[in-house]
Amino acid sequence: MGAPPECRAHFARHHSATDPRTQIPPEGLLPYSPKRARPYLYSAKEIRSLLRAALSLPARGGLRPWTYHCLFGLLSVTGLRLGEACNLELQDVDLRTGVLTIRSGKFGKSRLIPIHRSTRRVLADYLTRRNRRWARRPVSPYVFISNWGNQLDRGEIHRTFYALSRQIGLRGPSDSHGPRIHDLRHRFAGMTLLRWYRSGEDVERKLPFLSAYLGHVHVSDTYWYLSAWPELMREAMSRLERCWEGQS
């Protein structure tokens, strides 16, 4: 229906386990479509190393270490797209209720994102430093700003991320490919699904909530995270096997 060909093939293979009449389209039958980049599955230790490295950045007379520490940390615990985090304005952050307002995200959709108390503390600390630094000068309304008071440049964000990745060993000194900033979003989605499976939640029923939280237009976009993470597939198959055992 709205799902890409590879998702429909994955679904057919999954459905064939319970209905042998299911036809699985052979590879090469459907027109070629661009493949998504295989996500890198960060460990909690790697994310902690990344955030520590961000705090070790030279300040250059501004808030650079705290800005990148807060930005990368926020991406890892909310699953926001980089563009959504960069476009956050001060008016979009409600620390009292712990809610971020994402205005006109991808495809023009807006949504509310609740954040944990620990995230609120880090954001509050950064915003206090930011307000103190720019108390006497007009500055951009964006939350994450450069040492000159402008909205952070995305090219500079990526360059900083690559430098930190090499520093902590996520990339080799000359690697042109490796873990991406966007993979922090993949990890958030994958860990959410994994927690649901391990706690016995009805993942099929709750998936639309995760889809809305991530700002996906189609639930099929969220299904992709399931097939992209082998550990999730194992959890799904284990649940299916337990279901079969209970019926036999």
Give the span between the Cα atoms of 154 and 160, in whole angstroms. 10
Active site residue 136: no
Active site residue 116: no
pLDDT surpassing 70 at residue 144:
yes
Active site residue 69: no
According to DSSP, the residues that pair with 101 across neighbouring strands are 112
Active site residue 10: no
Scanning the structure block, which residue is given the tokens 């994994």?
A: 194
Active site residue 137: no
The predicted model scores a pTM of 0.78
Considering the candidates 68, 197, 223, 225, report the single residue annotated as catalytic. Answer: 225
17 vs 232 pLDDT, higher one = 232
Give the span between the Cα atoms of 226 and 155, in whole angstroms. 30
Considering the candidates 52, 121, 182, 195, report the single residue annotated as catalytic. Answer: 182
Considering the candidates 171, 197, 216, 223, report the single residue annotated as catalytic. Answer: 216
What are the CA-CA distances from residue 221 to residues 7, 60, 145 (Å)? 9, 41, 31
pLDDT surpassing 90 at residue 139:
no
What is the overall mean pLDDT for the chain?
83
Considering the candidates 185, 186, 187, 223, report the single residue annotated as catalytic. Answer: 185
